[in-house]
Chain A
Amino acid sequence: GAGVSQSPSNKVTEKGKDVELRCDPISGHTALYWYRQSLGQGLEFLIYFQGNSAPDKSGLPSDRFSAERTGGSVSTLTIQRTQQEDSAVYLCASSFRRYNEKLFFGSGTQLSVL
């Protein structure tokens, strides 16, 4: 695609429910990153994919968070048993290769947990 696509754009869920956030990177980009941006805060790294593997998942805040990537393309970030503190914008970014300095970001998913 022309850019990094994320869906849904906005998601409202009830506490305790599971949610799935999708990221469709730019075609051919092997590196994919998930970040979380809480209100008024900077971007917090969650996980990095190179191809389908995740060599760095050090930013996942708890075992309720997981992510996968299939076919070296689409990635899904899953949050189980959502809590109110999970409310944030979840941003996805991709780059051609890991050490390529230019990351292309999607517009994010605004997650609101009631």
Chain B
Amino acid sequence: AQTVTQSQPEMSVQEAETVTLSCTYDTSESDYYLFWYKQPPSRQMILVIRQEAYKQQNATENRFSVNFQKAAKSFSLKISDSQLGDAAMYFCAYRGAQKLVFGQGTRLTINP
């Protein structure tokens, strides 16, 4: 079974600084997607960024980018120029042929 591990339960960063959230996963599949979701206090999960495993180029969405290391099964999220609105729980997720599997989450705090 696929597993997703986020080893940082909590992270904090100064506003305008850069922070990196870690994620590793375990799978025997060759074709899959990886995601980062943001969950603000409203509880609604918001897709931040996705990466197709067959693509070598790291995905980027404005201030959010990933470092996808397929061989190492690592998928970290970098948030540049952190803003107060970035404060939330961040979940890494994996989807292969079956259901979407989530990590345990990282609570990100932005210090003004």
Q: List residues of chain A with CB within 8 A of the CB of B33.
A: 101
B 25-69 contacts with A by CB, 8 A: 33, 35, 42-47, 50, 52
A56-B44 in contact (CB<8A): no
**Residues of A within 8 A of B (CB-CB), count:** 21
Residue of A40, A42, A59 contacting most chain B CB atoms (<10 Å): A42
Q: List residues of chain B with CB within 8 A of the CB of A48.
A: 99
B91 CB within 8 Å of chain A = yes
A107-B99 in contact (CB<8A): no
A89 CB within 8 Å of chain B = yes
Segment among B13-21, B80-88, B101-109 that sits at the interface with chain A: B101-109
A33-B100 in contact (CB<8A): yes
B102-A106 in contact (CB<8A): no
Bound CA–CA A105/B43 (angstroms): 9
Chain A residues near B (Cβ < 8 Å) = 33, 35, 40-43, 45, 48, 56, 59, 89, 91, 93, 101-103, 105-108, 110
In the complex, 14 of the A-B residue pairs with CB atoms within 8 angstroms, ordered by the A residue number, are: A33-B100, A35-B102, A42-B91, A45-B101, A48-B99, A59-B99, A89-B43, A93-B45, A93-B100, A101-B33, A101-B52, A102-B47, A103-B100, A107-B44
